[in-house]
Amino acid sequence: MVMDRKIEKVLVEARGVNKHYPNFRDLKNISFSFGVGKSYGILGPRHSGVTGLLRLIYCTAKSDVGEVMVLGLNAKNQPREIKSIVGVVPDALSLEEDLTVIEQLTVFGKFYDLAGPVVQNRARELLQQMELAGLEGYTTRYLSLFQRKKLCLARALLHQPQLLVLDEPTRGLSSSDRNWFLQMLRSLQNAKINLIIGSSDYRDLLQLCEYVLFLHNGRIIEQGDTKDLLANIVGTAVIDFQSLPAEVEYQLAKFSKNYEVFMVDSRVRIFLKEGQDIKETVSKISSDDVNMRKPNLDDIFVKLVGHSLEQKPWATA
């Protein structure tokens, strides 16, 4: 596991953090350092500790052991100051059902001493940006999940935070709604807003994050620059193909001498390194369902843990 290189200005740093949660995965010996100017992903399957770690960063929980620092502020001793510079989009969206869309923002603005024309103008600007203009008078209970997520993002940006923390931002969205949300996050990146995204969906982090930290059972199992991790841990390409259950052992024996091979669900994944020929490898496969693709973050998780982010495999090699 590679710790981040020396960085000029620290965005978030954790030093030997342990945390027991009654309702979340406990965190054990968490240490990392994220620098200003990049987008960071925290990736792990459900109940791996991702939400628990994000809660320490945006100060709705305190570590039992160790320190969490956010832009030079201590999360244990300065939570109020941290909350004033961090915007949060939680997985549980926590909107007041009986407030109108505009009230969700203007009422929330009071926590940041925003009031009068200032908060009204900022709220309407954000609703326009989120394509929620025209819904100002609707109560939240009548909004779709997509509209709720956009409203939560608007609320998180209300006080113009230096850091935006998002937990499972696209969970439950359709493909088109997910694409809209990812494009919005890219626009925030372009506006130089620091992002930390926690997710069990590797696709989001692969598109948005230059640095990824992997969590499993409450522990960090790997972290580093996304491109470097993909190249060093997986390789240059991945071939996956359907295999009959009765042929699992045969397929593993056939390819494991020359390749890294993993069984995930009923599919065989072959990791190709520099110099290994894709066409030659495909010619050895007897299956009607063969995919050739670039490595992704789930492949890294398979290599490190032995199963995918979503399912345990039948076997690994």
DSSP letters along 70-123, please?
A: ETTEETTT-HHHHHTTEEEE-SS----TTSBHHHHHHHHHGGGT--HHHHHHHH
Contact 191, 162 (CB under 8 A): no
Sketch out the chain's domains with CATH numbers.
10-230 (3.40.50.300), 235-305 (3.30.70)
Listing from the earlier edge strand, what are the strands of the sheet with 65-70? 27-35, 10-19, 65-70, 73-74
- Edge-to-edge strand ranges of the sheet holding 267-272: 260-264, 267-272, 237-242, 290-293
> What's the confidence (pLDDT) of residue 173?
96
Looking at residue 111, its pLDDT comes to 87
3-state helix/strand/coil string of 17-46: EEECCCCCCCEEEEEEEEECCCEEEEECCC
Helix (H) or strand (E) holding 292, with range, is strand 290-293
Query: Which residues, in sequence order, are CB contacts of 84 under 8 Å at separation 6+?
Result: 112, 159
- Residues 6+ away with beta carbon under 8 Å from 205: 41, 43, 197, 199, 212, 226, 297
Q: What pLDDT shows up at residue 3? A: 44
Question: What b/e string do you get for 28-44 counting C-beta neighbours within 10 Å, with b at 16 or more?
Answer: bebebbbbeebbbbbbb
Q: Indicate if the alpha-carbon torsion angle 190, 192, 193, 196 is positive or negative.
A: positive
Of the candidates 122, 98, 93, which has an alpha carbon nearest to the alpha carbon of residue 110? 122
Q: Which residues of 91-126 are buried (b: 16+ CB within 10 A; e: fewer)?
A: beeebeeebbbbbbbbebbeeeebeeeebeebbbeb
Residue 267, Cβ neighbours under 10 Å: how many? 19
Phi and psi angles of residue 139, each rounded to the nearest 5 degrees, phi first: -75, 150
CA–CA dist 211, 206 (Å, integer):
9
CA 302 to chain CA mean position, Å:
17
Which residues face 15 on adjacent strands?
67
What whole-number distance in Å separates Cα of residue 202 and Cα of residue 144? 24
| Reported pTM | 0.91
User: Residue 134: left (phi > 0), alpha (psi -120 to 50), or beta?
Assistant: left
pLDDT tens per residue, the chain (317 residues)?
A: 444 444 448 999 999 999 999 877 899 999 999 999 999 999 999 889 999 999 999 999 999 999 999 999 999 999 999 999 999 999 887 888 899 999 999 999 988 888 889 999 999 999 999 999 999 999 999 999 999 999 999 999 999 999 999 999 999 999 999 999 999 999 999 999 999 999 999 999 999 999 999 999 999 999 999 999 999 999 999 999 998 888 878 888 888 889 999 988 889 999 999 999 999 999 988 888 999 999 999 999 999 999 999 864 443 33
